[in-house]
Amino acid sequence: MPSRRSSSAYLPKAEELRENDEQWTAYESEWHCVVLAGPGSGKTKTLVLKLARILAEDVRAPRGVACITYSQECARELSRRLEELGLRESSRLFIGTVHGFCLRHLLMPYARLANLGLPLPLKVATVEYCRQLYSRLGTRLFGAGHPYKQMDMDKHRRVHLDRETPAWREQEELATLANAYESALHRQGLIDFEDMVIYGERLVAQNDWVLPLVRARFPVLAVDEYQDLGLGLHRIVKRLAFDGGVRLFAVGDADQAVYGFNGADSSLLHELADRDDVELVQLEVNYRCADDIIQASERALGEVRGYRAWDEERQARIEMIECPEGLAEQAQHAVAEIIPAALAAKEGRQLGDIAILYRTADIGDVVAEAVMAEGLDFIRVDNAAPYRKCSLTSWIEDCAAWCAGGWTEAKPLLRGLLERWIAFRHRALSDTEARNERARVTRFLWSRRQNEAARDFVSALRATLLDDMVQAEPGLADQAAQMAAMSRALQPGGPLQDLDMARLGGRDGSPNQLNLLTLHSAKGCEYDVVIMLGLDEGSFHWSNVQGNELRESRRLFYVGFTRARDEVFMLYSGWNENRKTGRRYYSGRLRFLDELQGA
């Protein structure tokens, strides 16, 4: 861990926060604090500098800070920002998902003592195993044509944590299916991702003795994207902070809550912010978007928030474009017309400054086909991507980036790669073991400093380091499956067969690759130019959508709109198509476009 002298690198950056009264107030907060942060408001910068200050000034080693966020990509971005300040993940600094926190810092150390009834040692089932188990049980209980999806059962488990209440049994068949699934899973000596949070919450709720132990290690808990993290995390936070004395620093934006289908509840953020013992700070200056984009996005949201642009003179371009021939025409127009014009419109603009956003992976298929036909290089982030991002695959990508030239600029930091390697272990290594592991990884990376084929690099990395490590770490089973998926994608005939190490290492934010993302995946990202496709009733959401689902759909559109700094293009056809039958439904363009144009 860096010394107190080296950790002062955050101070010059922190001075920049003085220019914004709200950011400075959050930075100066001394106890529980909730920051409500609109798009482009500098919330990540504020959070990162606050964490750096806490580690340097408020928490003495070996105690530290736990920072929880929604996704692995969010965690990776926070890690990168902290590394730039000389801080890296270590025993003093946890940066990861709520699942990772519950597994590593609640269940692994305390589940046995609390007698939670989980199979020990803890071994995490792969996503594919869980899918197959669910399918077998659903068919056995309700027949092959039953209407329940695994995501329905998982949401039921997330939302109804109290199994003895009537609410658990309101959907009787889902509750029966969930009980049978959990019992079968545990009989096999396995847990899944939902178990991590469910039993993590039970651990802290039912065992007072756990609270001081957690506080002794992590006296400060930070939470990013709070609106997306659900009831389990909310209860854990309240228990640790308000009963256990752990200091809380939480950041979120209810207007960007788009995971209601997963059980997230944005009202939990407001509940936290409304407490008398929590300091509330609201960030209102938008550093990203031109003012025209801010004003239009609030009209699309249907709520006036009063956000203002940092640079009020910047001009924006906002266009709605009809492509009457359908999605294929939308994709073709984006690739052949909009992108070349956008690249020419600003000196130095690159493909990586442009994103095409869409609702679902099947729309992404249409987009990817058009992009490949045009010969453009691209990064795709959706359910059809060759492998899912996780801590392990992200580490492999960063190792590739370092070896392919990043070592010359310390991007990423070698020390950060070594500490992340150590952190994969479920048990604390002795000083000698940790030193030997760092040396082993360093020797490998140093010997591979070239830009070779990505498949050769990953194959060597697995043979030398990774395969033995994941075999010894049952908690990494699902991540190991994603590592295997990466390897398959890199093999001849795979979708990533032509990748070299530099391009593998640049699969997040490469300046030379067009970004193709679902709207959900785009959260937290920003681009000069945003192109949104499939903006038709029936494609973006069901034509008869209403209530909470309509509000969440509106927020998703708002998220996409506010990814743009300078230009937003919205493409529609006025109809959508049933992919199975080929039947067209002329339901009109997305209603939010009518509201924008009529304002």
Q: Which residues carry a binding-site annotation for ATP?
A: 37-44
What are the beta bridge partners of residue 249? 33, 222
DSSP class of residue 325? T
Go through 218-243 and write b for each residue having 16 or more CB atoms within 10 A of its CB, e for each that does not.
Answer: bbbbbbbbbbbbbbbbbbbbbbbbee
Q: What are phi and psi of 126, to 5 degrees?
A: -75, 160
Ramachandran region of residue 197, left (φ > 0), alpha (ψ -120 to 50) or beta? Answer: alpha
- Is 277 exposed, middle or buried, given 0-12, 13-18 or 19+ CB atoms closer than 10 A? exposed
With CA atoms as reference, report the closest residue to 315 among 359, 345, 339, 336. Answer: 345
**DSSP conformation letters of 238-296:** HIIIIIT--EEEEEE-GGG---GGGT--THHHHHHHT-TTSEEEEE-EESSS-HHHHHH
d(CA 68, CA 398): 21
In this structure, the number of other CB atoms found within 10 A of the CB of residue 360 comes to 16
Q: Are 454 and 461 in contact (CB under 8 A)?
A: no
**Chain centroid to CA 346:** 30
Neighbouring C-alpha atoms within 13 Å toward the C-beta of 483: 24
Walk across the sheet containing 279-283 and list its strands: 93-97, 65-69, 220-223, 247-252, 33-37, 279-283
Which of helix, strand or coil describes residue 92? coil
Q: Which amino acid is at 358?
A: Y
What are the beta bridge partners of residue 251? 35
Tokens found for residue 166: 């009537």
With CA atoms as reference, report the closest residue to 379 among 233, 491, 521. Answer: 521
Task: Give the total residue count for the chain.
Answer: 599
Q: Are 417 and 402 in contact (CB under 8 A)?
A: yes
Strand-strand pairing, 576-577 and 584-585: antiparallel
Binding positions: 37-44
Q: What are phi and psi of 224, to 5 degrees?
A: -105, 155
Which of helix, strand or coil describes residue 395? helix
Q: How far is CA 118 from CA 186, 233, 460, 470, in A?
A: 7, 19, 36, 21
Torsion on CA atoms 84, 348, 39, 366, rounded to nearest 10: -110
- Is 477 exposed, middle or buried, given 0-12, 13-18 or 19+ CB atoms closer than 10 A? middle
Which of helix, strand or coil describes residue 509? coil
d(CA 266, CA 452): 46
